[in-house]
Amino acid sequence: MINKILFSFIFFISIQQSCLAEVRVFDFTEAEFETLQIKKVKGKTTYTLGTNKIGNFLKAESEGKASGLGKEIRINLLKTPFINITWKVEKDLQGIVENSKKGHDYAARVFVVKKTGSTALSNRAINYVFSSNNLVNDNWPSPYTKKSVDYVLSTTKDHLNEWITVKANVKEHFKKFHNLDLTEISGVAVMTDTDNSKLKAISYYQDIYFSEE
């Protein structure tokens, strides 16, 4: 009897540890949607909620506009260094030069931010993007600030109008691109923007979370 109780206790603990190995960032529910912080760059991207067989998602539509949705959330990168993103681009931005100021638009992007000072201008960021013109693993500093690095996790050259799930080691990327050995990050945001190119983009975000591996 004692062995059965001990086994059940160990099994319960292992389930708890497994659950703690993943930290969900967005639920994309109506309640959460009302609490997300809006960051306007130019105009306002249209964000709406939807549901499919996998769960809730966020749809983004932008034409000559740029605004993001985010939240302050502390993620322990020692325990869960990997960001996981499921997303889709229905209408991309072909022909733009994404590492230039005039073409610095993405049909879908997810910012991971670390506060490193008292103002937003001092923050460091990795900007994981769904590129319309470049290849996976391509990367470059933002043409607007060297404190933000664009990193291609998906491209419409391979996946246009289809869901894809990708993963990246955020802790390693902050060390590689910003020379910061972080134990945690401060916030996460999504943004679909077309304010520079004036084109139209449609994209979807779903199931964004951090994991142990």
Question: Cβ neighbours of residue 106 under 8 Å, at least 6 residues apart?
Answer: 93, 98, 129, 130, 131, 132, 150, 191, 192, 193, 201
Helices (H), the chain: 2-20, 30-33, 170-178
Residue 127 is assigned to a structural domain of this protein: yes
Residue 177 is assigned to a structural domain of this protein: yes
Question: Cβ neighbours of residue 35 under 8 Å, at least 6 residues apart?
Answer: 71
Task: Please tell me whether the overall predicted TM-score, pTM, comes out greater than 0.85 for this model.
Answer: yes
pLDDT single digits (tens) 123-166? 999 999 999 999 999 999 999 999 999 999 999 999 999 999 99
Dist CA 17 CA 116 (whole Å): 30
Dist CA 146 CA 51 (whole Å): 37
Report the domain count for the chain: 1
Residue 13 is assigned to a structural domain of this protein: no
pLDDT single digits (tens) 27-79? 999 999 999 999 988 889 999 999 999 999 999 999 999 999 999 999 999 99
Range of the domain at 197: 23-211
| Residue keyed to tokens 């072909």 | 94
Give the E-state strand segments of 55-123 in sequence order: 56-63, 66-76, 82-91, 106-114
Residue 7 is assigned to a structural domain of this protein: no
- SS3 at position 20: helix
Residue 5 is assigned to a structural domain of this protein: no
